[in-house]
Amino acid sequence: MRIGKVYLVGAGPGDPDLITRKALSLLRRADVVIYDRLIPPQLLEETRGDAELIDAGKQPTRHRLAQADINALILERALRGLSVLRLKGGDPFVFGRGGEEALACQEYGIPFEVVPGVSSAVAAPAYAGIPLTQRGISSAFTVITGHEAPGKAASGINYRALARLGGTIVILMGVKRLGAITEELIAQGLDADTPAAIIEWGTVPRQRTLSGSAENIAARARAHGIQPPATAVIGEVARLRDAGLAWYEQLPALEFAASFAPAGTLQAISSL
């Protein structure tokens, strides 16, 4: 019997235009699409009319399908000779469990491909006007999860090293534990006044960004009702948002201003 193929595909961070051309091409041809809750819903309109669409619906505290069930679905459909596309928010190998699904395919001899996606770790800060690296400010960035596997005896994150490394810290899936994470970083030597920001629903029209410091960003997030999905950034680069780089949330105002700019203004700007 012919065995199908599995594609572990990153859908990007939320803006449907950020999906790659390869991912979109595969999405349009797949027999089965198993998707997570954070994928742009518009992408499902790109699937074949006869494609089977399965909502895996993973959320921070409850999963429509457990990971073991998702693995079983992928394997069962592929063993039936179908083309299976596993559509995941962001990048499948950045806190996306894509490695677990790839290992399941490898164990059963099912061919697979990985199609990287734009991760919210870089996209959400970019849409908030925060470059993760900036000459003279930050030469490195570190991405950590705020949602480690339940039941771990100890954290796998070396907060002491992280607090002293310098550069920029990006925290994914960390809304619930943001206070505990920032407290630990400060206890391990991070300056409490280090600029920080949190971006809710990055790259989509409902994006909302709060600025603060390592010491108060968690309290500010609670006070303003920030909910997942959200990306936190800690580091000197967070200051740049308030220095004029907050472009996305001001798009309508900027477009309006451009349409009424004096003659020659835009040409002068483009020549800089």
Provide the residue ranges of all domains of the chain, joining segments of one domain with +.
6-118, 121-247
The three-point CA angle 96-97-100 to 5° equals 160
Q: Quick check: is 58 catalytic?
A: yes
Residue 270: predicted pLDDT: 35
The list of the chain residues with pLDDT below 70 reads 58-63, 149-154, 253-272
Q: Any residues with CB less than 8 A from the CB of 254 and at least 6 apart, and which?
A: 247
Superfamily of domain 121-247: Tetrapyrrole methylase, C-terminal domain (3.30.950.10)
- Torsions phi, psi for 209 (to 5 deg): -130, 135
Angle between helices 98-107 and 67-79 (to 10 degrees): 40
Q: How far apart are CA 108 and CA 92, in angstroms?
A: 20
Residue 271: predicted pLDDT: 37
Q: How far apart are CA 3 and CA 5, in angstroms?
A: 7
Return the residue matching tokens 């010491």: 215
- CATH domain 6-118 topology: Cobalt-precorrin-4 Transmethylase; domain 1 (3.40.1010)
Q: How far apart are CA 155 and CA 146, in angstroms?
A: 10
pLDDT digits (tens, 9 = 90+) for 212-244: 999 999 999 999 999 999 999 999 999 999 999
pLDDT digits (tens, 9 = 90+) for 146-173: 987 656 666 889 999 999 999 999 999 9
Residue 268: predicted pLDDT: 39
Q: Quick check: is 31 catalytic?
A: no
Active-site residue, from 15, 31, 36, 91: 36
Q: Quick check: is 36 catalytic?
A: yes
Residue 62: predicted pLDDT: 55
- pLDDT > 70: what percent of the chain? 88
Residue 149: predicted pLDDT: 63
